Chain A
Amino acid sequence: MSELTPAQLKAQKKAAKAAKRAASKEASGQAPTRDPREAKKEQQQAAAKEGGSSSNTGNNSNNTQGGSNQSSASASSKEDRTRASRPALFGHLEKAGKVTAADAGKDVHPEVITLALRYSSYQIVGSSDRARTLLQAFQRVIADYETPEGTTLSRNLTTHLGHQIDFVISARPLSVSMGNAIRWLKQEISVVSIDMSDQAAKDMLVEKIDEYIKEKIDVSGSVIVESAVNDIADGDTVLTFAHSEVVENTFIAAHQAGKRFKIIVVDSRPLHEGRKLARDLSARGIECIYILVSALAHVLDDVSRVFLGAHAMLSNGALLSRVGSALIATAAKRKNIPVIVLCESMKFSDRVQLDSVTLNELAFPEMLANTYISDKKKLPEDKAKTSLKYLNLCYDLTPAANLTKIITELGHLPPSAVPVIMREYKSAYTM
């Protein structure tokens, strides 16, 4: 990465031209090193998860298979305008785009448009939630889908879904869970028998999606919760970071089981997701302490264990989660406090990543310009502050050494067991 930095520093002065130069450099630089089959897989994977090592413009042209050219053009022009506040240092990272409903191509289903906008404005966050809502939206897309003349459902539906996915990506890069779900769905579509009628096929697909959601998200979550509850003992002080659905459910279940414990919720800017968690837990009568990341060193002495949620588990046992998780895990490990990750198997990825900056997602820098802590206040138009450069990373990587164990629906595992699980259950993930 370092050899690109001076090049990109120069490029920064001629913003748009430099971006394209860097993009084409990356795209051409990468392609020859990969197997053609791998390349196609890579493209699909790049479509499925956030971060490709090219800029947004490059990504759009890689993933689009016809259609939505106008969306990529308008997205990239918007990109240039907002680029000013993003440091060149991390210029290679995937960025969220500011899309509006008008940017969607004619093929994009209104449900998907709404959903994408909600992703883009961070109203729906969390990898389980995003995967679930995406699949639910796809159910409607499939239900409303009509196969056009001269083609079959199993071939055309995939393309149609592709258009939807592109729009979603332009709003916000996909999460690993979403990528896995999409891969599974495309697999299911491709094996639809020619003999089946369209309606029957659609019904079957919708039902299968229901089953997937139930099995992979809901039931898996419950199994994890049941298992994780045993890790909370009476009198424990448990620390958690931001807001993870599974972790929250674990706390609620433990409380209902009559255990007496305290929760320390650590929160970070700009999303302040921890506040939501603290509110929910307090409302249920669980004693909560709320701090920001910078106060962490002060509370660690009393903590008995740390529970973290996951965005994805990588093949080398590393945890990809909300930015700040790595900090928590490191600090906890230093004090020999067990760090437990709660992660459904659908968030496993066969990607390997060594640090947080190879692949990551950059959110809007303006989100950091707002320094209000109140939920009620509106963002003021403070131009002076938005002229500063902000780095708003979404995720970070915790190396396996800093994790104690992972609880999945398949059991309690050490971090190094992730590739084993992926291999054993490979059929569920590959195309």
Chain B
Amino acid sequence: MPPKKKNAKPQKSAIDKDFRLQAVILADSYQARFQPLTKDYPRCLLPLANTPLLEYTFEFLAKAGVCEVFLMCCSHADKIEEYIKTSKWSDSHSPFEIHTKKLTESMSVGDAMRDLDGTGSITSDFLLVSGDVVSNIDFTPVLEQHLQRKQDDKNAMMTMVLRQADAFHRTRSRIEPGLFVLNDKTSECLRYEELSLNNPTGSIDLDGELLNDDATLSIRNDLIDCHIDLCSIDVLAQFTENFDYSTLRSDFVKNILTSEILGKKIYAHIVTDAYAARVRSLQTYSAVTKDIVSRYSYPVVPDSNLMDDQTFSYQMGHIYKEKGVVLAQSCVIGSRSLVGRGTSVGERSMVKDTVIGRDCKISTNVNLVDSFIWSNVIIEDDVTVNGGLVADGAILKKGCSVGPGSIIGHGVTVEEGQKIEGTYLVLDAGESIPFDAIDDDDSDFDTDDEFNANVGSLVYNLKELNLSDTSINDHCYEDDENIRAVAPKKKTRRRLSSTVSNVSDNHEDEFQKEAIASLDRAFQDNHEIDIAALELGTLRMSSNVPYEEVRAASVKAINGYITRVLNMGVTDDHKVPTQKVWGKWAELFEKQVFEPADQIDLLNILLKDCSRRPVGNYILFAAVQSLYDADVLDEHVIVRWWHQQPEDVSPEIASVRTLLGKWVTWLEEAESESEEEDESD
């Protein structure tokens, strides 16, 4: 992309004079990353540098010249509507008209898109953003290029706006970071993969046919996906046609790109000299706040006073203060800090790298470093907050300390002298209790550690974290009984038939129970594989769970059955029964395993499960061998998985895989021998 802003020759603009740009804001992300801060309040109205997130989105749209906005809300839609009615965006001089749509029954982005398609309000290419985007891009050239491409090629369906960064940039979402395969010359996006913390291999598979063209491909793992998409109306139609599309990227984009029949194209516009980011999680919340305070997003900065009643002024050192801030003589406001109106800071207090909202009362000798303090917070003497987030109305009593990664929820009181470290406190029935992610079904996090990683990422410090993909995965290897810990990121928790907007996870547990029960019946009654598979399949579809769940349940069922058989102790020999069971039921997995990633997942599930069972090593070996014989697992996948196993694992896992190791070695040698024999492969 040429950096120069000068145009060589004036070209006929691809934008028609009468073109009215419409925009769709997805106010609800249908994820629960900000729970329970968002229990009572919509996520898009959370304050970022003392301004609600939605305001940044509106500013971006206003700058882009949007004429009409459709705001798709789900949770707390009433509050959003109320907010918009009283804001300046509803005035007659607002640059666009806002239509708020309350979709209380929707459960995914896909639902919202389908609804939109149903109403027919979108008439041409539109801008699709989420309610938490912060950007200063000049959008006109992006729009022009998009429309130009559409003129040249009718199949150009969407343009994604991505910001160049690097792989471990703080503003790049660490939860499901996207990997894009792009054609350098045409900017076409050829593949999209979502990397997850659970992907132990650190590699992806690509079709060879991608390399057929003469094009130069680049595989980009250094882009910030700000979820700013310019879509044509075809996009809506696609969502309607495929009603199981829920998410924009992992469902829609991924499938469009891999579908051969469809032939639609998605393009990527990489921004190198402007700012664009999305606040998806607490980690990005922290990062984007820092970016704004450090003026990387100019002119979207606090002292532009984008909201009418703001009165920020700037001071050297990236310090922002509103009018009406009362500072004691000896208090120090350090660099990269922001203090809202009506806040008072007492003697000898130190504020550094911290954002403080309005009407807070901060007493003497308080230390606030690297933190986020929202409005109406009372902080008494001698308190230290280091790397924490304190939400509205909280009270921190004398002498307490809030350590890195802590979140003090709305209205919570931290008692005198209490030390909070890395926990998340919420107000529940008048009491302040820790928020346990695993028990609460609203959580989106697979493990305690991932949750902590998310919260703790408020103060994410690159240097302290080991950077390899496999070591991140190790966090997830720390086990709990819940097999879900091993299942990869995709969790479709919303059922189409559910009428509750805040859904629970119950049906997944139910599925597990029912599946295991069904398989147990099959084992005992010695059903045919096909029948058992059919039953399992039906169960899966009715519960609408992903295949990971099915695999997990199957493994558990089979191994459970074997363990019971061995315990019954008919013979001392464990080999024969194991071989028999696995030999018969390995084919069950044929309908559950499709891609190499699935195979790897299955292997991981097996490893995990067997490590907890008696004679686990033999069971594991028998299982893998049977699956290999049944052509469910491929040689090269097994070998690759084996070699990518980390060295330092728990002793159970280490011991259980020794036997398998020998077999894999044998397999490798056999493989190489057969390769030598064959001339062609």
Asked if chains A and B are in direct contact (CB within 8 A), the reply is: yes
Interchain CB contact under 8 A, A302 and B3: no
Contact of A302 among B2, B4, B272, B316 (CB under 8 A): B316
Contact bitstring B18-61, A, C-beta under 8 A = 1, else 0:
00000000000000000000000000000000000000000000
A380 to B2, CA, bound (A): 9
Contact bitstring A298-313, B, C-beta under 8 A = 1, else 0:
1100100000000000
Interchain CB contact under 8 A, A371 and B316: no
Q: B462: shortest Cβ distance to chain A, in Å?
A: 11
Contact bitstring B244-272, A, C-beta under 8 A = 1, else 0:
00000000000000000000000000001
- Chain A residues, CB < 8 A from B272: 374
Q: A335: shortest Cβ distance to chain B, in Å?
A: 15
Interface residues on chain A, number (Cβ under 8 Å): 8
Q: Which of B1-24 contact A (CB under 8 A)?
A: 2-4
A298 to B314, CA, bound (A): 14
Q: Which of A363-393 contact B (CB under 8 A)?
A: 371-372, 374, 380, 382
- Chain B residues, CB < 8 A from A372: 3
Q: Which residue in chain A gives the minimum CB-CB distance to B222?
A: A376
Known A299-B316, A371-B3; 7 more pairs at CB < 8 Å: A298-B316, A302-B316, A371-B4, A372-B3, A374-B272, A380-B2, A382-B4
Q: B415: shortest Cβ distance to chain A, in Å?
A: 34
- Chain A residues, CB < 8 A from B4: 371, 382
A374 to B3, CA, bound (A): 11
A299 to B3, CA, bound (A): 29
A324 to B272, CA, bound (A): 29
- Chain A residues, CB < 8 A from B2: 380
A380 to B316, CA, bound (A): 36
- Chain B residues, CB < 8 A from A302: 316
Q: Which residue in chain B gives the minimum CB-CB distance to A380?
A: B2
Query: What bracket does the count of chain B residues touching chain A fall in?
Result: under 10
- Chain B residues, CB < 8 A from A382: 4
Q: Which residue in chain B gives the minimum CB-CB distance to A262?
A: B335
Q: B459: shortest Cβ distance to chain A, in Å?
A: 16
A374 to B222, CA, bound (A): 15
- Chain B residues, CB < 8 A from A298: 316
Q: A81: shortest Cβ distance to chain B, in Å?
A: 25
Q: A288: shortest Cβ distance to chain B, in Å?
A: 11
Q: Which 4 A-B pairs have the closest CB atoms?
A: A372-B3, A371-B3, A302-B316, A380-B2
Q: Which residue in chain A gives the minimum CB-CB distance to B6?
A: A384
A372 to B316, CA, bound (A): 26
A299 to B316, CA, bound (A): 8
Q: A48: shortest Cβ distance to chain B, in Å?
A: 41
Q: A384: shortest Cβ distance to chain B, in Å?
A: 9
Q: Which of A258-308 contact B (CB under 8 A)?
A: 298-299, 302
A421 to B309, CA, bound (A): 66
- Greatest chain A CB density within 10 A among B2, B3, B4, B316 is at B3
- Chain B residues, CB < 8 A from A374: 272
- Chain A residues, CB < 8 A from B316: 298-299, 302
Q: Which residue in chain B gives the minimum CB-CB distance to A370?
A: B3
Q: Which of B292-321 contact A (CB under 8 A)?
A: 316
Q: Which residue in chain B gives the minimum CB-CB distance to A285?
A: B463
Q: Which residue in chain B gives the minimum CB-CB distance to A298?
A: B316
A145 to B651, CA, bound (A): 61
Q: A39: shortest Cβ distance to chain B, in Å?
A: 50
A137 to B490, CA, bound (A): 59
Q: List 9 A-B contacts (CB under 8 A).
A: A298-B316, A299-B316, A302-B316, A371-B3, A371-B4, A372-B3, A374-B272, A380-B2, A382-B4
Q: A162: shortest Cβ distance to chain B, in Å?
A: 45
A299 to B4, CA, bound (A): 29
Q: B461: shortest Cβ distance to chain A, in Å?
A: 12
Q: B619: shortest Cβ distance to chain A, in Å?
A: 49
Q: A139: shortest Cβ distance to chain B, in Å?
A: 38
Q: Which residue in chain B gives the minimum CB-CB distance to A299?
A: B316
Q: Which residue in chain B gives the minimum CB-CB distance to A382?
A: B4
Contact bitstring B193-207, A, C-beta under 8 A = 1, else 0:
000000000000000
Q: B498: shortest Cβ distance to chain A, in Å?
A: 48
Q: Which residue in chain B gives the minimum CB-CB distance to A287?
A: B335
A382 to B4, CA, bound (A): 10
Q: A282: shortest Cβ distance to chain B, in Å?
A: 11
Contact bitstring B532-559, A, C-beta under 8 A = 1, else 0:
0000000000000000000000000000
A24 to B2, CA, bound (A): 45
- Chain A residues, CB < 8 A from B3: 371-372
Q: A206: shortest Cβ distance to chain B, in Å?
A: 41
Q: B221: shortest Cβ distance to chain A, in Å?
A: 14
A217 to B2, CA, bound (A): 44
Q: A379: shortest Cβ distance to chain B, in Å?
A: 12
- Chain B residues, CB < 8 A from A380: 2
Q: Which residue in chain A gives the minimum CB-CB distance to B318?
A: A289
A371 to B272, CA, bound (A): 13
Contact bitstring A214-243, B, C-beta under 8 A = 1, else 0:
000000000000000000000000000000
Q: B477: shortest Cβ distance to chain A, in Å?
A: 31
